[in-house]
A and B are shown apart, each in its own frame.
Chain A
């Protein structure tokens, strides 16, 4: 116990006296509110505003009424684009072609082909394409309805079946972009915050020749690894708690009601998030220590361990592409916590048995990594950084 206490105190003294590494570790927490606030603002602006679309309209003179409809729907000819948006809309290159026999075919009741020509693969064009299609459809339907009405036909005959859509999504689900972003961000914070401490206390100590001195002492390697993991995990957990606190503060300044959404981090949500993320802090630190101790130098440890921080960003993203998720993903570290956070943010009641089981699996893997690292430290190749 004396040894364990001494090791732990020394690790914390070293970690908290390295101000530069500590600031770098906790920087992610201070970046969270800025990022969430900015992205939310942009998302709200895009959702509630209907910016004018500028398109190259060929044959506009053949259909003044369609042009009036376009004008009403804020779809204007490219000749009217303001100078500051000229480059953007020229680059988007939306072309609408109205045939010269528009009026004649309208009179004859024949189908008129209006051509919309643009790059459909460009995601930025989705909104413009949808709005142009909707405008033409509304114009077409209105004329079709008028034609039936003057012939004494009830226009309801055109709609024998009508689908009534009822959205069961909670208001909090409408803030999916914030919750997904925050979920990934919190997982990344758990991995990034403790990273400098984990590398410094492993590969850094070996490079400064203090690890060799420590390993000559009458002390079990498991105690050494466990205390280093504890210290890095505490810094990681501090990063996660700070991220949560500052994000809660930042979100309160964003008026999500404008897009029919709500998002709040109340005490219960924060507690559930901490229950999910604390095992991840331990897991992340033990994983980082395992790889950092394998590295032959501090620099190699930095490049190897930095790759690990891609995991918490990559796994939740990959999960969004899997429609039928296998059950075991619920129990694995990172994927399990990510799915549970998704449910939590959607307002689905927390399944505590899954929370506990996923946490237990994560902690078991953490202990396995600690034991594996402690075992490796008994090897002269690992200690002396031999090939």
Chain B
């Protein structure tokens, strides 16, 4: 379970102060897929980066499975599988070696590690590219390797920042099935996306973020009812009070 309370974060660039998060609070429950929606610059990525410890919150609390991120960052990260917004690959390693590397970092070893790697490679349909060096991989192939790295240790909580960008239809379907399977196994999934159809189809709960704070939250149906609209996209535009960023 991921719990965010009154999160504040500002960036200072010379004399300019940019308030990226302004008291954001929400909760992502186990056994649910929670989507974060918001226009560009709303604070989604800042929130996720703060959750996995790349940024330090100015104020507020983040709890992952009853572990405070601020005081026990490493313990908290052990509960996470992360798919960040900026991801790169070690281009001199094969896909298998990369997944193996991240599995070892999460403490897997021996036969357990081998089984876990084979499992995730099969699940994501990566067998053909597993033993190829990742240099020259397409965007979709790179995303698959990054996903495999995030999933190999079967984390209790999964944070994904726009995981389907660049994926083809087949890969997107595989990912959706994987996320649903994770959900049914009781894992907590938090992901940001701009694709309304995806959010509507996958998410149990949706958090709409605007100007660094919570604009609305609920199931896709509840949000549509709240805004008095039949489509989530229309409801989203109405709830954030602007059509800025919708086309992104």
Contact = CB atoms under 8 A, between A and B. Distances in A.
Given A13-B92, A210-B88, A213-B88, A2 B104 contact: yes
A382 to B, nearest CB: 11
Given A14-B93, A218-B78, A384-B54, A213 B106 contact: no
Interface of A: 2-3, 5-7, 10, 13-14, 17-18, 205, 208-210, 212-213, 215-220, 380, 383-384, 386-387
A218 B89 contact: no
Contact of A387 (B13, B87, B104): B13
Contacts of B56: 380
B107 interface: yes
Interface string B83-123: 01011111111000100111011111100000000000000
A297 to B, nearest CB: 14
Contacts, number: 77
Contact of A213 (B53, B78, B84, B104): B84
A208 B106 CA distance: 22
B77 interface: yes
Interface-centre pick from B87, B88, B100 (highest chain A CB count, 10 A): B88
B54 A13 contact: no
B230 interface: no
Leading 8 A-B pairs by shortest Cβ distance: A209-B88, A6-B104, A218-B77, A17-B92, A210-B88, A208-B88, A218-B78, A209-B86
B105 A216 contact: no
Nearest to A7: B105
Given A10-B101, A13-B97, A212-B84, A218 B106 contact: yes
A387 B15 CA distance: 13
B182 interface: no
B86 A380 contact: no
Given A3-B105, A5-B104, A13-B97, A216 B52 contact: yes
B77 A380 contact: no
A10 to B, nearest CB: 5
Interface string B215-240: 00000000000000000000000000
B106 to A, nearest CB: 7
Nearest to A219: B105
A245 to B, nearest CB: 28
A3 B82 contact: no
18 contacts: A2-B104, A2-B108, A3-B105, A3-B107, A10-B90, A10-B101, A212-B88, A213-B88, A213-B146, A216-B54, A216-B80, A216-B82, A217-B106, A218-B75, A218-B105, A218-B106, A383-B54, A386-B11
A2 B107 contact: yes
B93 A13 contact: yes
B77 A217 contact: yes
A216 to B, nearest CB: 5
Contacts of A218: 74-75, 77-78, 105-106
